[in-house]
């Protein structure tokens, strides 16, 4: 009975830590997208996570590798997309499609 309680408690803690890490990562991705748009004189629209996977034994025991899609406008009329790739809370890459500016 005690072993079962410990396993359930461990599972609950793991889920809470996963949620906390992914939430922190989402806030960082949103901030990066806004800074990218501000730096390049673009209008920021939205940012959302499109893919997440857990990678074991790369740099640490476990790393969250996530890709976020952000939308922006270069001229105020068109909508374009870009991708932000994060590993844990570290920026790996930002890519955007070709866009028009005024």
Q: What is the DSSP string of 14-66?
A: HHHHHHHHHHHHHHHHHHHHHHHHHHTT-EEEEEEEEEEEEEESSSSSEEEEE
Q: Is 19 exposed, middle or buried (0-12, 13-18, 19+ CB in 10 A)?
A: exposed
**Whole-number mean pLDDT of the chain?**
91
Given this model, what pLDDT does residue 61 score? 82
pLDDT more than 70, % of the chain: 99
pLDDT at res. 37: 95
pLDDT digits (tens, 9 = 90+) for 7-47: 999 999 988 988 898 899 999 999 999 999 999 999 999 99
């Amino acid at each position: 009975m005690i072993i079962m309680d410990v396993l359930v408690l461990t599972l609950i803690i793991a889920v809470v830590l996963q949620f906390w890490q992914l939430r922190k990562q989402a806030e960082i991705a949103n901030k990066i997208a806004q800074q990218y748009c501000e730096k390049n004189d673009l209008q920021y629209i939205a940012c959302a996570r499109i893919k997440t996977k857990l990678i074991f034994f790369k740099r640490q025991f476990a790393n969250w590798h996530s890709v976020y899609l952000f939308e922006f406008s270069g001229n105020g009329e068109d909508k374009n997309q870009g991708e932000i790739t994060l590993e844990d809370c570290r920026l790996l890459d930002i890519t955007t499609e070709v866009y028009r500016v005024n």
